[in-house]
Structure 1
Amino acid sequence: MATSADFIRLAQTLPPRLTRFFARYPPNTANDVVKNPFKPTIHPVTKKWHNPVYSLRRQKELVVLARDHGVEDLLPPTIKKTAVREKRALEGPKMKKMMAPKGKEWERTLKGRLEMREKAMRGMPNLIERWRKAGHGRGWTEWPR
């Protein structure tokens, strides 16, 4: 087990940016949801949301710095941690297949229109026969579909 002298020696080897962060947010309190500087918080009285103290870019910079010095586990929970990113890469949603491009409207509806046109052409002899029997369209209120 590490002694307090080991922790002091470790703290002295950290860069000033990490030292200031751990001085402001000690590791034992950083896991508290209320005191997590990486998460947005809600004001207890006004019920308004406040942005995180550290932006995603600054979170990433702190995580990289902490990872390089071996103290990443002491940081509060964040989506920028290496373990979280690896887990999301393995278990996260994956694209099953390539998505088709949206295309223009005439491109998207072309297949359906060609099918309707082909169906109408197959029924054209019957339509012509009905047209002739009805006296060249007399009595038709609208064109058949």
Structure 2
Amino acid sequence: MSLQVIKKFRTRELTAVLKTKRLQLAEKAPAVPNPFIPRLNPESGRWAPPKYSLRQQADLVKHAKVSNTLHLLPPGPKLALSELQAVARPESDIEPWSQAIVWEGEVKEKKVAGADIGNRLYAGRKRMFKGHKWERTLQKRTTKRKWLMRGMKARIMRFKTTYKRRRPSPLAPARVTGKAPKLPF
């Protein structure tokens, strides 16, 4: 299945090139426009978007990794040039769709902060900007809780002694004040 996807991609992209440049194929690899990167139209001066979207590129890269044909794909945003160079290429390619091709166009690799450690989302940020409110305030609450728990024994003893002092003794005579108690209404 994965090999068929890669074969279909290659034949679709190389059909015109293989027909017109069949004689040159034996001598050197033909240059083909890279469908993974945007191209500048020389006539209008406008940029045309890539032929394959980032999602389609990612799917092709996944299929190529499964079928061990990563060397047949052009470099792009989802497949860095360094990854392609690290892949071992087979020595003999018998089929015309698996011939060596030179892809035209320059792929600019973006340097993403935190990609080397696997934390691209929050690299270089002081605090996280997503999540539930309880997740964002969790650290502050735990530090406050730890601080309060340090003096908890003294706080409990203070409360118990204060409560004992307020409570009237059942054996002591009742205090009589000169005024009658006020009614709440």
Q: Which has the higher contact order (CA 8 A, sep 6+)?
A: 2
**TM-score bucket of the superposed structures, by smaller chain:** 0.3 to 0.5
Bigger Rg, structure 1 or 2: 2
Between Structure 1 and Structure 2, the one with more helix by share is 1
| TM-score, structure 2 normalization | 0.37
